[in-house]
Structure 1
Amino acid sequence: MEDLAYYNGKITRLSEMMVPFNDRSHFFGDGVYDASVARNGIIFKLEDHIERFFNSMALIDIQPDFTKDELRELLQDLCQKLKTGDLFVYFQVSRGTAVRNHSYTQTIKPNLAIYMIPWTGDFSGGHRLKLMTVPDHRFEFCHIKTLNLLPNVLASQSATAQGLDEVVYHREQRVTECAHSNISILTNGVFQTAPLDHWILPGIARKYLLLASQSLGFGISEKPFTIEEMLAADEIIVSSSGALCAPVSEIDGRAVGGRDSERLQQLQTKIYQDFFKETDID
């Protein structure tokens, strides 16, 4: 099996999976998700992703009928069914299946969906990204990994149409995050990233970049920064589960970063070593 889909206990190929029409994710995007990558059948930072997944469910009042341990075991078992190398691992829960109604009953049973496909990551650190800035018009649930991603989709498509890699959201000049990544800066030896409030997702890679920076003796700061401060930074770093520490070379057609390659290299080496160590087979 080259890919895999799971829905409430049923396992098929991705192209063969059928989902009930009345799943509330269809009508309302009423659910949450999380995702990571796997190497050698080991899902990277799985505990962190499961913890965030359960936190997202709690924040929108979804009551799961499975435990963290049961989800962990299920994901690990599904990984073993694929022999295609590295994997992208996605899991989501919707509130459940019911006739379309904005309100819902407390007894509704959540629907758990998972898919896994081959993944090829580039952890060489050599490719620098090109970004564009856009006003952040998303709702105020950015700290929840919700299925409601239409603003992100439209912004990402606009960037793709212009041959760019990502967008940078801002609210009245304050940089928040990217469409599907966190964004941080290195300035004068200080790794700075936005605080964990309702404007950004608590990224797992963001968390470990902070820890890596601290262990390397860098200064660390969790406070907002502006577009102007970002453009003037020594290095600009985009981070996600699939791109742990990706540097930036251009924003809105302006050359940026590239002024602290030594610290950037140290940080990339540290974070990539962590990935390979955690996913190696003893």
Structure 2
Amino acid sequence: MEDLAYYNGKITRLSEMMVPFNDRSHFFGDGVYDASVARNGIIFKLEDHLDRFFNSMALIDIQPDFTKDELRELLQALCQKLDTGDLFVYFQVSRGTAIRNHSYAQTLKPNLSVYMLPWTGDFSSQKRLKLMTTPDHRFEFCHIKTLNLLPNVLASQAATSQGLDEVVYHRDQRVTECAHSNISILINGVFQTAPLDHWILPGIARKYLLLMSQALGFDVLEHPFTVEEMLAADEVIVSSSGSLCAPVSEIDGRAVGGRDPERLQQLQDKIYQDFFKETDID
């Protein structure tokens, strides 16, 4: 298959899948999701993504009728059905199917969805991103990977319409994260990123950038930084599962970064080596 969709045991091509009208994701975005990439059919950092997925479900009171082991086995089996092993892998659960009502029955059976399609990662590390900043008006569940992404959609579209790559959110000038990425800085040899709280998603790539920085002997700091501190940093780094360590060249039309290319390259080399090692076929 070129691409694949899964819904509660049914498997089709992505364009052929039909979802019940009364799925609560349709009315309320009542669910959570996670996503990663696969190389050679091996999903990168799958255990971390499963942990975050189950944590997100627990935080919004979704009781899955499947275990972590069962979901792992399902995702791995689905990867084998595709024509390529280099994939974008997305999985979500909604609270279930019921007539529209804000309240819900505790007995609802969750709906599990998966889709996979070919992915071509660019880990050449040559491209530097251009960003814009915007006030962070999202609600206070940013640490949960929910389906409620309307502010992210609108901010991303604003950036795209200007030919930019991402949006940097801030709350009273404190940088939180991007519309679909985490953001960190290198400053005076220190890798700094925002602390894990309800303003940011606990990104998997963020976690491993911290670990790789420590392995390289860099000082690390999980502490808030402001927009001005970001603009003055030696390097600005955007990270996500599909873009592990992407440097930034411009924010709001102002040139940034490019002042610590050696440490940046060390960090990119380290995390990309980890990616290729984990997804190589023995």
Q: TM-score, normalised by structure 2?
A: 1.00
Helix, strand or coil: the match of 1:244? Answer: strand
For 1:107-256, list aligned pairs within 5 A: 107-256=107-256
- Cα deviation for residue 3 of structure 1 reads 0.1
- Cα deviation for residue 83 of structure 1 reads 1.9
CA distance in 2, matches of 1:185, 1:4: 37
Helix, strand or coil: the match of 1:236? Answer: strand
Cα deviations by residue, 1:122-163 (Å, 9 ceiling, x for unpaired): 001110000000000000000000000000000000000000
Cα deviations by residue, 1:155-175 (Å, 9 ceiling, x for unpaired): 000000000000000000000
- Cα deviation for residue 85 of structure 1 reads 3.6
CA distance in 2, matches of 1:6, 1:85: 17
Asked if 1 retains the 8 angstrom alpha-carbon contact of 2:6 and 2:114, the reply is yes
Cα deviations by residue, 1:47-81 (Å, 9 ceiling, x for unpaired): 00000000000000000000000000000000000
CA distance in 2, matches of 1:70, 1:173: 43
Helix, strand or coil: the match of 1:147? Answer: coil
Which amino acid is 1:41 matched to? G
Which amino acid is 2:21 matched to? F
User: 1:9: which partner in 2?
Assistant: 9
Helix, strand or coil: the match of 1:245? Answer: strand
User: 1:35: which partner in 2?
Assistant: 35
CA distance in 2, matches of 1:202, 1:255: 28
- Cα deviation for residue 84 of structure 1 reads 2.0
Alignment root-mean-square deviation, CA: 0.3
CA distance in 2, matches of 1:173, 1:253: 17
Helix, strand or coil: the match of 2:113? Answer: strand
Asked if 1 retains the 8 angstrom alpha-carbon contact of 2:79 and 2:85, the reply is no
* Range with bigger deviation, 81-90 or 31-40: 81-90
CA distance in 2, matches of 1:55, 1:240: 19
CA distance in 2, matches of 1:3, 1:83: 8
Which amino acid is 1:100 matched to? R
Which amino acid is 1:68 matched to? K
User: 2:89: which partner in 1?
Assistant: 89
Which amino acid is 1:166 matched to? E
Is 1:46 aligned to 2:41, yes or no? no
Helix, strand or coil: the match of 1:61? Answer: coil
Asked if 1 retains the 8 angstrom alpha-carbon contact of 2:40 and 2:84, the reply is no
CA distance in 1, matches of 2:78, 2:39: 13
Consecutive unaligned residues in structure 2, runs of 5 or more: none
CA distance in 2, matches of 1:90, 1:5: 10
- Cα deviation for residue 24 of structure 1 reads 0.1
Asked if 1 retains the 8 angstrom alpha-carbon contact of 2:42 and 2:279, the reply is yes
Cα deviations by residue, 1:173-197 (Å, 9 ceiling, x for unpaired): 0000000000000001000000000
Which amino acid is 1:215 matched to? A
Same amino acid, percent of matched pairs: 90
Consecutive unaligned residues in structure 1, runs of 5 or more: none
- Cα deviation for residue 274 of structure 1 reads 0.2
Helix, strand or coil: the match of 2:52? Answer: helix
Helix, strand or coil: the match of 2:244? Answer: coil
Which amino acid is 2:249 matched to? S
